[in-house]
């Protein structure tokens, strides 16, 4: 009886620190079921290499020299929905985690993860599962519970068209500077719009505002 050999997982590494990429390749080098097919260090390279190399899984940092890994994730998954994206990062703040999830990421783990756990995460995501680092799981569940409870609290004021546009970009994970550029506004004006949005929605954080937006889009 012939035993079918499992197809290796094609993995693309995206991190702007060479020492991180070298360390990851060292961890992955002895894994028969994982093949590192390429390395990228910027958003532009990640998008290009994803299209060229067609990896099964991308292991990517949230912050890159030319922009956000969240933007790269969103762009890659728009044209290559079969690719699975895991964020491997040092950032555990609410805004980064929620932006990654809303962009379609399939995993979010922190860089202090041990080698065995990282390998399990790669295999799990490649098999169709989603993985969240234990340190952010509880917060993510709170967001989901909050989203499930509905939209903004009764009595909140409606948002203006421009506030709606700002909120949509916040929900996509854009920074104030990126929003200002996209809408041809000053940074100060964006901050003022955000202050109005927070007040009207009765929230205090970008992640909370993004959660309300995500619920309304369902």
Residue range 117-126, pLDDT digits in tens: 999 999 999 9
Kindly compute the dihedral angle of the four CA atoms of residues 86, 87, 93, 97, in this order, to the nearest 10 degrees: -40
Query: Which fold would CATH assign to domain 9-140?
Result: Rossmann fold (3.40.50)
Q: How far apart are the first and last CA of the chain?
A: 49
Quick one: pLDDT at residue 171?
Answer: 81
pTM of the entire structure? 0.70
Quick one: pLDDT at residue 4?
Answer: 47
DSSP string spanning 33-98? TEEEEEEE-SHHHHHHHHHHH--SEEEE-SEETTEEHHHHHHHHHHH-TT-EEEEEES---HHHHH
Quick one: pLDDT at residue 146?
Answer: 55
Distance (Å, whole) CA 133 – CA 153 = 30
CB 21 within 8 Å of CB 15:
yes
Is residue 5 helix, strand or coil? coil
Quick one: pLDDT at residue 3?
Answer: 45
CB 94 within 8 Å of CB 139:
yes
Contacts of 22 (CB under 8 A, 6+ apart): none
Distance (Å, whole) CA 43 – CA 53 = 15
What residues of the chain score a pLDDT lower than 70? 1-5, 137-156, 215, 217-218
Residue range 96-109, pLDDT digits in tens: 887 788 788 999 99
Paired tokens of 62: 């949230």
Quick one: pLDDT at residue 92?
Answer: 81
Q: What are the C-alpha distances in Å from 218 to residues 153, 158, 208?
A: 17, 18, 16
Q: Which residue has the tokens 């998954």?
A: 77
Of 45, 43, 62, 70, the residue nearest 174 (C-alpha)? 70
- Looking at 3.90.550.10, 1.10.10.10, 3.30.70.1400, 1.20.1340.10, the CATH number of the domain 150-217 comes to 1.10.10.10
Kindly compute the dihedral angle of the four CA atoms of residues 137, 140, 142, 143, in this order, to the nearest 10 degrees: 180
Is residue 149 helix, strand or coil? coil
Distance (Å, whole) CA 50 – CA 74 = 12
The domain ranges of the chain are: 9-140, 150-217
Fold agreement between 9-140 and 150-217: no
């Amino acid at each position: 009886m012939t035993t079918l050999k499992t197809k290796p997982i094609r993995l693309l590494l995206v991190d702007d620190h060479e020492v991180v990429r070298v360390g990851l390749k060292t961890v992955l080098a002895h894994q028969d079921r994982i093949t590192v097919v390429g390395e990228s260090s910027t958003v532009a390279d990640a998008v290009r290499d994803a299209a060229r190399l067609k990896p099964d899984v991308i292991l990517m940092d949230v912050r890159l020299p030319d922009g956000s890994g969240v933007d790269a994730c969103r762009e890659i998954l728009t044209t290559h929905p079969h690719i699975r994206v895991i964020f491997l990062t040092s950032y555990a703040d609410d805004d980064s985690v929620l932006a990654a999830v809303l962009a379609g990421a399939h995993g979010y783990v922190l860089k202090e993860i041990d080698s065995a756990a990282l390998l399990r995460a790669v295999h799990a995501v490649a098999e169709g599962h989603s993985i969240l680092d234990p340190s952010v799981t509880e917060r993510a569940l709170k967001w989901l519970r909050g989203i499930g409870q509905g939209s903004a609290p009764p009595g909140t004021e409606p948002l203006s068209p421009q506030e709606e546009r700002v909120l949509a970009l916040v929900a996509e994970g854009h920074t104030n500077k990126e929003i200002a550029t996209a809408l041809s506004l000053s940074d100060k004006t964006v901050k003022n719009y955000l202050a109005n949005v927070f007040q009207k929605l009765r929230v205090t954080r970008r992640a909370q505002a993004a959660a309300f937006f995500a619920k309304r889009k369902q």
